[in-house]
Amino acid sequence: MKKKILPLVMMFAFLKAYTQVGINTTGPAATLDINVKNATGTSTNVEGVLITRLDRQRAQSMTGVPISTLIYVNSIATGSQTGTAVNVDTIGYYYYNGAAWVKLHNPTNSISANIYNTDGALTGNRIVSQGSNSLAFTGTQANAFSVDGATFSVDAANDRIGVGTQTPNAKLEINSSSSGVSGLKFTNLTSSSPTGTGQAIGVDASGNVISVSTVAQVLTVENAVSNPPSSLNFTVNDLGYIIIPGTIQNITIPTDGKALFINFMLGIDYSLPPSGSGSGFYQAILFIDNTATNVYQTVQESGAGEQAQFNLSSVKFLTSGNHTLDIRMIRKYNNGTTSGANISCTPVSVSFNSSYIN
Contact 354, 216 (CB under 8 A): no
Per-residue pLDDT in tens (0 to 9) along the chain, 358 residues? 455 555 555 555 555 555 788 888 888 888 888 888 888 889 888 888 899 999 999 999 999 999 999 999 999 999 999 999 999 999 999 999 999 999 987 656 566 677 888 888 888 999 999 999 999 999 999 999 999 999 999 999 999 999 999 999 999 999 989 888 888 888 888 777 776 666 677 777 788 877 665 555 555 545 544 445 556 889 999 999 999 998 999 988 888 888 889 999 999 988 777 776 668 899 999 999 999 999 999 998 876 667 889 999 999 999 999 999 999 999 999 988 889 999 888 898 888 888 887 6
Domain stop point among 177, 204, 226: 177
Q: Are residues 247 and 300 in the same domain?
A: yes
Do the domain assignments include residue 349?
A: yes
Q: Are residues 92 and 25 in the same domain?
A: yes
Domain stop point among 107, 130, 153: 107
Q: How far, in whole angstroms, is CA 178 from its chain's centroid? A: 18
Helix (H, G, I), strand (E, B) or coil at 231: helix
Contact 146, 153 (CB under 8 A): yes
- Output the pLDDT for position 115: 83
Q: Are residues 268 and 353 in the same domain?
A: yes
Q: 6: part of which helix (H) or strand (E)?
A: helix 2-18
- Output the pLDDT for position 1: 47
- Output the pLDDT for position 329: 96
- Output the pLDDT for position 264: 93
Q: Are residues 94 and 147 in the same domain?
A: no
Contact 161, 155 (CB under 8 A): yes
Do the domain assignments include residue 293?
A: yes
**Among the listed residues 154, 350, 159, 177, the one whose alpha carbon sits nearest the alpha carbon of residue 265:** 350
Do the domain assignments include residue 288?
A: yes
Do the domain assignments include residue 216?
A: no
- Output the pLDDT for position 226: 44
Kindly report whether the global pTM for this prediction surpasses the value 0.75: no
Do the domain assignments include residue 226?
A: no
Do the domain assignments include residue 306?
A: yes
Count of structural domains, the chain: 3
Q: What residue type is 330 in one-letter code?
A: I
CATH number (domain holding residue 270): 2.60.120.760
Q: Are residues 91 and 153 in the same domain?
A: no
Do the domain assignments include residue 278?
A: yes
**Three-class SS of 12-34:** HHHHHHHCCEEECCCCCCCCEEE
Q: Are residues 63 and 170 in the same domain?
A: no
- What domain range includes position 153? 140-177
